[in-house]
Amino acid sequence: MASLTSTIDTTQAMVTYLYNHASWDSTVHIHATEIPANFTLRKAVLILPDGGETDYSLPRVNEGFSFWAYGTTMVEAKAVNDLIYDCMIKSPETSVTIDSGTVYINNIRRSLGPVPLREPDTDWPRWMTTYFAYFSDYAAT
């Protein structure tokens, strides 16, 4: 049985998955792990890895990610969050190609949210939702 190598970046796989499967318009920006220092408030998604099964000798890993959906208003941020939901829940099992190879993503499920929040320092509106997904370097049968 194949094993997931430690060289596969599941965060990069999730970013690629969103770009490939969501109905984004060109005004939605996707960021991984942190918002850039020069960020100005607009429609955006921040993907934060939340951990999970991290034993890379397993044939697949189950990892969680928090998705922070931003917008200039709470309604706009919720619309971005809804796009994430459509992508995560309604898209089929799939594979994505990243720098380190092909990663298969399946069994995506929401575990928390959506929760309306505001950034503590800036008061920017955002919605937070957490999803878990299985990642493997082979196609599940």
Q: Tokens in use for 58?
A: 């397993």
Give the number of C-alpha atoms closer than 13 A to the C-alpha of residue 51, restricted to the C-beta side: 0
Give the pLDDT confidence score for residue 30 in this predicted structure. 92
* Within-domain flag for 71: yes
Identify whether 1 is part of a domain.
Answer: no
In the three-class reduction of DSSP (H, G, I as helix; E, B as strand; rest coil), residue 14 is classed as: helix
Q: What's the pLDDT score for residue 66? A: 97
Q: pLDDT value at position 55?
A: 66
Q: Give how many domains the chain has, as a whole number.
A: 1
Q: Look at residue 62 and tell me if it is in a domain.
A: yes
Q: Is residue 121 part of a domain?
A: yes
The CATH number of the domain where 14 resides is what? 3.30.70
Q: Which two tokens stand for residue 86?
A: 């459509």
Task: Give the C-alpha separation, 38 to 23, whole Å.
Answer: 25
Q: Is residue 2 part of a domain?
A: no
How many Cβ atoms are within 10 Å of 132's Cβ, its own excluded? 17
The predicted structure's pLDDT at residue 93: 75
List per-block mean pLDDT (blocks of 10 residues) for the chain, which spans 141 residues: 63 91 83 90 94 71 94 96 91 83 90 94 95 84 53
Phi, psi of 58 (to 5 degrees): -75, 155
Within-domain flag for 4: no
Domain of residue 29: give its range: 10-136
